[in-house]
Structure formats: C-alpha cells, structure tokens
C-alpha cells in the first residue's frame, strides 16, 4: 500500500507540561544520572540554575504529551505494529528547571516512502513560560512494509 | 577541560537490571508492552522485552556530558540512529571519539554497543566547553 503523505505540514497546538522536582528525580534515577543539580535545590542554585535542573534528555518526558497524539492521528495513519523509532535529534536551548511550564508544539515535517518503508519525520519545539526555546526535537519514525 | 580531535571520551559501562525497563517506563510514560512484557515481546518475535531506545540515548547523553565535566548545559545537540535492539541484563558500552574541536565547540562521534553489536550508531553530540 503506498504511503499517504497528505499530512505533511500538519501542525498541532502546543501541549503544556509543568516540570516537578520529584519527576526529575524519578527520571534521573531511571537513567542513572547522579549529578546533585538534578536532586538538590541548593546544589542546583549554587551551579546557577533557578531550581532543580532537568537532565537534557528529560525532553522526552515533557514532549511526549505533544508527540504521542501524532502517532494516533488517523490523518497520519501510522500502523503501530510496523513502527520503529529510527532516529532522534535534540537541540537544546535554555535549561529546564523544576517549576517551569513547557509548551511543546509539533509539526509533521516530512512523510516519504523509500524502499517500501514509510519515513515519518516530526519536529517538536518546546518553549518555557518566558517564551525561550528549551529544545527542538526531530523524531524519525519508520513504518516497515508500508 | 580540553578536548582535541581524535581524543576518546571516557567509556561508560552500564548493565540495566531486569526491572530497569519498568522504571524507565514509569519515568518516561512509555508503557509499550514490548519494553515491559517478556511474553508479549516474544510473541511479537523478539528475543525478550527490549530496552527503550530513548533510554539508551540517555546513556549516550550521560557519557558525553561526563566527558565535558558533567554540566548538563554543556550538551547542545545530540543526534542518534537506533539500530538493533537493546536487552536488559546485558552490559552496554558507550564509547566516543572527538571529531572536531573549534572555539569551545566539540563534536563527538559516539556509539553504544551491547554484546559487540551497535544499539545506537552515528550518534553525534555537540558540546560547549
């Protein structure tokens, strides 16, 4: 079945996520981070952060509420059983700290077919409560046998 | 902290325990059963439940930040390709080599392997020192 590329360029409204200190702790422990700036307010402030800092890859946590619905969007039409996460890029800006509210908007940048596989590229842009960009994510998903 | 083209970054070795995918699922919100349900995964044709790719990417981020002195603000960009599948209870080794170092901006080529096979390749990290 040919890949339906008609959703290319579709945008999704921003999804808000409020960053909490205990969620940062849970995430940092799961990925084995031990820098005190992720756990202790005093250490974070001494290092120049407003509050407990989020590890850069915490971007996954505050972006997921914006990115996940795209996978389920019938306009995009991804078959989950054939889906593989092919690649991921993050470009970081302003640091994210506990207490921040991060709004993430997603756009479908590209849908193409190559060698019988569908390539779906989503871009997410996350901004903090001051409007500063904190991360830009490029999510490349491959649907086998499309 | 000085990093020159051709330098290796300190190797990171991690063996995720049997329940790590469950903790990462809770931390990240990704409860896809191929990561946390061995029976489901084997029925889907996988050897076991598999690690989340973004968990392995977080280890690549860790190795690069550690090489830059540990400050999370040092990591400016990380781009990876997921290859193969990571499994719990097997050691992951993250290695990297500095590709370029100019004006405080360092680009590191990184790879994460398990049992000699790449689970993350073509990983490129940009660090600001």
Which residue in chain A is spatially nearest to B76 when comparing CA positions?
Answer: A92
| Confidence (pLDDT) at A145 | 76
- Cβ atoms of residues A32 and B62 within 8 Å: yes
Cross-strand partners of B124: B79, B109
Could you report the per-residue pLDDT of B16-74, keeping only the tens digit for each?
999 999 999 999 999 999 999 999 999 988 899 999 999 999 999 999 999 999 999 99
Of A31, A35, A56, the CB nearest to B55: A31
Residue A13 φ/ψ, nearest 5 degrees:
-65, 155
Q: How many CB pairs under 8 A join A and B?
A: 83
Of A26, A33, A92, the CB nearest to B26: A26
Of B20, B27, B59, the CB nearest to A26: B27
| Confidence (pLDDT) at B84 | 84
- Cβ atoms of residues B10 and B63 within 8 Å: yes
Chain B residues with CB under 8 Å of A26 CB are 26-27
**A84 reaches B (C-beta below 8 A):** yes
Strand A133-143 versus strand A101-114 pairing type: unpaired
Residue A41 φ/ψ, nearest 5 degrees:
-60, -45
| Tokens 């989340």, located at residue | B52
Please state the pTM of the whole predicted model: 0.96
Rounded CA-CA distance B20/B114 in Å is 16
**B45 reaches A (C-beta below 8 A):** no
**A91 reaches B (C-beta below 8 A):** yes
**B29 reaches A (C-beta below 8 A):** yes
Rounded CA-CA distance B51/B85 in Å is 7
Query: What contacts B31, CB < 8 A, 6 or more positions away?
Result: B25
- Joined together, the tokens standing for residue B86 give 């990571």
| Confidence (pLDDT) at A35 | 98
Helix, strand, or coil (residue A34): coil
**Does residue A144 carry a pLDDT above 90?**
no
DSSP chain B: ----TTPEEEEEEE---TTHHHHHHHHH----HHHH-HHHHHHTT-SS----HHHHHHHHHHHHHHHTTS-GGGEEEEEEEE-S---TTS-EEEEEEEEEEETTEEEEEEEEEETTEEEEEEEEEEEE-
A22: number of Cβ within 10 Å: 9
| Confidence (pLDDT) at A81 | 78
The answer to whether the Cβ–Cβ distance between B77 and A91 falls below 8 Å is yes
| Confidence (pLDDT) at B83 | 87
> What ipTM does this complex have?
0.96
Residues of B with a known catalytic role: 30, 35, 50, 53
The answer to whether the Cβ–Cβ distance between B62 and A89 falls below 8 Å is no
**A32 reaches B (C-beta below 8 A):** yes
**Does residue A36 carry a pLDDT above 70?**
yes
**Chain B (66-95) residues lying within 8 Å, Cβ to Cβ, of chain A:** 70-73, 75-82
**Does residue B7 carry a pLDDT above 80?**
yes
**A106 reaches B (C-beta below 8 A):** no
Of A27, A88, A91, the CB nearest to B57: A88
Query: What contacts A48, CB < 8 A, 6 or more positions away?
Result: none
Which of B45, B20, B57 minimizes the C-alpha distance to B35?
B20
**B42 reaches A (C-beta below 8 A):** no
């Amino acid at each position: 079945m040919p890949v339906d590329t008609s959703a290319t360029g579709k945008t999704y409204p921003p999804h808000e996520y409020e960053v909490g200190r205990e969620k940062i702790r849970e995430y940092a422990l799961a990925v084995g981070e031990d820098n005190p700036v992720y756990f202790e307010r005093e250490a974070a402030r001494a290092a120049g952060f407003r509050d407990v800092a989020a590890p850069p890859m915490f971007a996954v946590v505050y972006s997921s509420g914006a990115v996940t619905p795209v996978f389920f969007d019938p306009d995009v039409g991804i078959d989950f059983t054939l889906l593989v996460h092919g690649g991921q890029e993050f470009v970081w800006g302003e640091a994210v700290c506990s207490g921040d509210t991060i709004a993430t908007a997603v756009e479908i940048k590209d849908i193409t077919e190559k060698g019988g596989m569908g390539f779906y590229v989503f871009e997410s842009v996350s901004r903090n409560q001051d409007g500063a960009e904190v991360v830009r994510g490029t999510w490349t998903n491959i649907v086998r046998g499309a | 902290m000085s990093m020159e083209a051709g330098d290796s970054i300190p190797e990171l070795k991690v063996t995720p325990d049997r329940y790590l995918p469950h903790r990462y699922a809770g931390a990240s919100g990704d409860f896809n059963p191929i990561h946390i349900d061995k029976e489901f995964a084997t029925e889907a044709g996988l050897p076991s439940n598999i690690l989340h790719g973004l968990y392995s990417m977080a280890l690549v981020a860790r190795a690069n930040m550690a090489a830059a002195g540990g400050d999370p603000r040092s990591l400016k960009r990380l781009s990876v390709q997921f290859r193969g599948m990571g499994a719990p209870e097997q050691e992951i080794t993250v290695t990297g080599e500095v590709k370029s170092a100019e004006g405080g901006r360092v680009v590191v080529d990184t790879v994460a392997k398990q049992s000699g096979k790449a689970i993350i390749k073509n990983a490129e990290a940009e660090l600001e020192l």
